[in-house]
Structure 1
């Protein structure tokens, strides 16, 4: 299992950042490079606990689909999505939010495992972990810019 930990400091209130992080439309904007689209389940607006979303995107030259479900939510402090169907053997993404004065600390804990045993572990460590980290950083940058611009 590979794990990515990211902390992003955002000059905005916790509720704004929490809502942007679960906004399907904003997520699609942040993933324009992979042409990611919500095609089933919740396909726009703010995803809620027990809802699913199925994404279709072009990663590494191949179109793939991934269905995730929000399995836990404590507004505006935390939500967790877990893969229901997709290319990973397993995937869990925890989104944690903490107000720190005028800022919000947004923490991602992204855990994933590729199929194919030892070959999958090798791909994870040599390539996929960095690919997924870059993907998450781009998403977080758009959340940060959007939240900070909504304050002005």
Structure 2
């Protein structure tokens, strides 16, 4: 069976060094704060602090008025350049989220600010065959990219406030 995969990227400039942005991005508390609209919380696995390679966390949230539960694994990790979280169990047929962090700007005192270009690469596919493909096209891609943008605003604020 061929699985259709939706892919999108979101880039955010953060005025903090890559290591700081990397660490903030792995904070369970920053994540739950960024997802407060959906009442997301960590309910199993690592439920507080900073995630690391091999950690699993089960998230519970409400999206589209329905309860969702997803367990993710930090499957790749190279501080401060990137990490990957992937769905182990949950509502998607496939979910993979790459987090990339690269030095950005010169920090030379002439208007160039040293910071980080944070780039998220998300790949997912919905369950339910043709109905899932329709949901991806009509709703999910835009909804998921907005969630990542919202999360990134929280990561940016938390990293810049350090």
The TM-score normalised by the length of structure 2 is 0.90
- Alignment-derived partner of residue 111 in structure 2: none
Asked whether the equivalents of residues 30 and 158 of structure 2 are also in contact (C-alpha less than 8 Å), the reply is no
**Structure 2 Cα separation of the partners of residues 124 and 14 of structure 1:** 32
Q: Per-residue displacement from partner, 1:12-44 (whole Å, max 9, x unpaired)?
A: 111110001110011000000000010001101
Task: Count matched residues.
Answer: 150
Residue 88 of structure 1, CA deviation:
0.5
What do the CA deviations read for 1:40-77 (whole angstroms, capped 9, x no partner)? 01101110001100000001101110000011100110
CA distance in 1, matches of 2:74, 2:131: 29
Unaligned runs of 5+ in 2: 107-113
Trace 1:42-81 onto structure 2 (pairs within 5 A): 42-81=46-85
- Paired residue for 2:126? 114
Q: Which has the larger radius of gyration?
A: 2
For 1:21 and 1:125, locate their aligned partners in 2 and report how far apart those are by CA, in whole Å: 28
Q: CA deviation at 1:125?
A: 1.2
Q: Give the Cα separation in 1 of the matches to 2:96 and 2:32.
A: 19
Moved over 4 A (4+): none
Q: Which residue of 2 aligns with 1:129?
A: 141
Q: 2:13 is matched with which residue: 2, 5, 9?
A: 9
